Amino acid sequence: MAFVWGTDSELVRDSTGTFRVDLILADSGRHHYRWEATGSAHGAEEASFDVRTSNVV
Residue 54 has pLDDT above 80, yes or no: yes
- What is the reported pLDDT for 2? 85
* pLDDT tier, 34 (very low <50, low <70, confident <90, very high otherwise): very high
**Distance (Å, whole) CA 46 – CA 33:** 6
Q: How many CB atoms lie within 10 A of CB 35?
A: 12
56 pLDDT band (50/70/90 cuts)? confident
Pick the range with the lowest mean pLDDT from 6-10, 39-43, 52-56.
39-43
Domain residue ranges in the chain? 11-51
